[in-house]
């Protein structure tokens, strides 16, 4: 075996020092940018939960039209050949993103949430983080590998700044890039950037909620198995959510092609449909819907169909062309679904809501490790045994689906599934493995032979 160079520890120390400087600077910039966005969001969102229907019927279509015009003229025509999706920037663009359009999506998100569109707040912050990080990489003339790590840092910093979960944010920014693979060389920069952004945002006065969920002090297998079942059910809820988002996107894409609909009008049509839905659905599920999530985590019972209402509104909002985040809705869907099924399993409603919240994130985003750590950061170390089983169960149950169509599929989740490595999950067509099909064929042939061997079986 070749002897390790004595200079290696010095090189690694230099790497630590390098990322302390780069990631801290990036985290501070991202934390400041996200704090400005969140300050504007707190002043514009959350005023329409009890609004009269006529006001929603006016604001939602107008907000859709404003989104459409903004994204069509200020974003689509100015972004150039580069895509501004962070996953694409890391996986396919060597860490490059269009810097000129940094402001567009945050403004579009403020419009979406201010007019009552159902979406999240982390998408604009992740966009700010990735764009700022890509800009830093270009200004400093970093090589492609360093730029990719820096963009992942920016996503981690944006996520940490929004939710106050710096370690989960760091893992999320790395884990979201590909299903089944985590780049460990991205972790230290991500952690440093996430912690720095969190501290910076808190210094700027961004408030973060605290949840106190009582889990049993000593581990019990029964409670663990119950939370795994919650994870399975929430994985199915996440599956419904992802498929709704995909279906609505497909329908609106077909509508634009078939009718020649001017692109800015598509979200306006979505706004009209949202307004019509509000004739029959509760207004609590508009916007961020954080009061619904907080009530579930406080132990208030939730309707069994509540998660479906939120999933439908989010799918219609984002699928029609509004811009907003996709993770905050997962929080709400998970908390509502977990709270609704908890009484069936003999769990406290708050416990079910807490486990469901992180389980849906683990499934829909394919980030079980980040979701597990998020559970610990939000609900305390006593939750780790229970959120762990739920997160992994939900991650498996959803299969090879994702709220991020650009997310790569590095490894299939089951030995019974075949998939091409490193293809975007939105383009991938997974199949049952040859071994499973052969085993199933053998069992069917044995069953036919057994049936024919019975008296009268061949008749």
Same domain, 247 and 188: no
Q: Lowest-confidence range among 85-94, 158-167, 200-209?
A: 85-94
DSSP 341: H
Q: Is residue 395 part of a domain?
A: yes
Same domain, 22 and 139: yes
Greater confidence, 328 or 442? 328
Q: Is residue 142 part of a domain?
A: yes
Same domain, 33 and 123: yes
| Entry pTM | 0.89
Q: Is residue 441 part of a domain?
A: no
Same domain, 347 and 231: yes
Q: Is residue 452 part of a domain?
A: no
Last residue of a domain, one of 409, 436, 454: 409
Most confident of 162-166, 172-176, 325-329: 325-329
Count of structural domains, the chain: 2
Extract the tokens encoding 334.
Answer: 């998970």
Same domain, 152 and 285: no
Extract the tokens encoding 56.
Answer: 């929603």
pLDDT at residue 254 above 70?
yes
Last residue of a domain, one of 368, 393, 409: 409
Give all strands (DSSP E) within 232-368, no chain letters: none
Same domain, 59 and 188: yes
pLDDT at residue 355 above 70?
yes
**What is the C-alpha to C-alpha distance for residues 408 and 91, in angstroms, rounded to an integer?**
8
Last residue of a domain, one of 203, 237, 252: 203
Same domain, 229 and 331: yes
> Pairing between strand 408-409 and 178-179?
parallel
pLDDT of residue 212: 81
> 382-431: per-residue pLDDT in tens?
888 899 999 999 999 998 889 998 888 888 777 767 666 777 776 656 66
Read off the CATH number of the domain in which 387 is found. 1.10.3080.10
For residue 121, give its domain range: 12-203
Same domain, 177 and 254: no
- Are the CB atoms for 297 and 353 separated by under 8 Å? yes
Nearest one of 298, 365, 305, 297 to 330, comparing CA atoms: 365
Q: Is residue 358 part of a domain?
A: yes
Same domain, 298 and 237: yes
Query: If you average pLDDT over every residue of the chain, what do you get?
Result: 87
pLDDT band at 459 (very low <50, low <70, confident <90, very high): very low
Q: Is residue 455 part of a domain?
A: no
Give the dihedral sign, CA 120/125/127/130: negative
Q: Is residue 450 part of a domain?
A: no
Same domain, 249 and 104: no
Same domain, 231 and 368: yes
Range 12-39 average pLDDT: 92
Nearest one of 40, 48, 43 to 116, comparing CA atoms: 48
Q: Is residue 401 part of a domain?
A: yes
Same domain, 299 and 253: yes
């Amino acid at each position: 075996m070749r002897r390790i160079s004595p200079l290696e520890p010095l090189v690694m120390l230099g790497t630590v020092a390098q990322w302390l400087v780069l990631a801290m600077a990036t985290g501070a910039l991202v934390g400041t940018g996200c704090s400005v966005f969140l300050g504007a969001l707190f002043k514009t969102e959350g005023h329409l939960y009890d609004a009269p229907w006529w006001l929603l019927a006016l604001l939602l279509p107008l907000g859709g039209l404003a989104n459409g015009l903004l994204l069509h003229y200020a974003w689509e025509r100015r972004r150039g050949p580069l895509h501004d999706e962070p996953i694409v920037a890391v996986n396919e663009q060597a860490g490059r993103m269009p810097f000129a359009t940094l402001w567009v999506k945050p403004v579009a998100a403020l419009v979406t949430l201010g007019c009552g569109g159902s979406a999240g707040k982390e998408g604009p912050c992740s966009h700010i983080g990735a764009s700022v990080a890509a800009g830093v990489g270009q200004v400093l003339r970093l090589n492609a590998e360093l730029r990719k790590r820096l963009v992942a840092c920016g996503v981690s910093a944006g996520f940490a700044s929004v939710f106050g979960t710096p370690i989960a944010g760091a893992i999320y920014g790395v884990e979201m890039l590909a299903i089944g693979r985590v780049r460990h060389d991205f972790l230290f920069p991500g952690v440093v950037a996430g912690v720095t952004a969190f501290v910076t945002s808190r210094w700027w006065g961004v408030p973060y909620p605290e949840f106190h969920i009582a889990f049993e002090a000593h581990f019990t297998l029964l409670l663990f198995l119950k939370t795994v079942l919650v994870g399975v059910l929430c994985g199915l809820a996440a599956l419904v959510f992802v498929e709704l988002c995909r279906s609505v996107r497909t329908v609106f894409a077909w509508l634009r092609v078939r009718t020649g609909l001017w692109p800015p009008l598509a979200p306006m049509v979505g706004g009209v449909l949202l307004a019509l839905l509000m004739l029959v659905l509760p207004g609590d599920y508009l916007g961020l819907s954080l009061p619904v999530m907080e009530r579930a985590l406080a132990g208030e019972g939730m309707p069994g169909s509540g998660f479906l209402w939120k999933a439908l509104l989010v799918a219609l909002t984002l699928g029609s062309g509004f811009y907003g985040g996709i993770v905050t809705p997962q929080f709400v869907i998970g908390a509502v679904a977990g709270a609704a099924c908890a009484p069936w399993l003999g769990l406290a409603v708050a416990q079910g809501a807490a486990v469901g919240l992180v389980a849906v994130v683990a499934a829909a985003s394919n980030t079980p490790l980040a979701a597990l750590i998020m559970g610990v950061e939000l609900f305390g170390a006593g939750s780790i045994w229970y959120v762990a089983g739920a997160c992994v169960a939900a991650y498996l149950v959803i299969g090879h689906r994702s709220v991020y169509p650009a997310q790569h599929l590095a490894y299939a989740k089951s030995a019974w599934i075949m998939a091409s490595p490193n293809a975007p999950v939105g383009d991938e067509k997974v199949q049952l493995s040859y071994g499973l099909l052969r085993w199933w064929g053998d069992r069917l042939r044995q069953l036919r032979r057994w049936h024919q061997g019975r008296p009268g079986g061949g008749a």
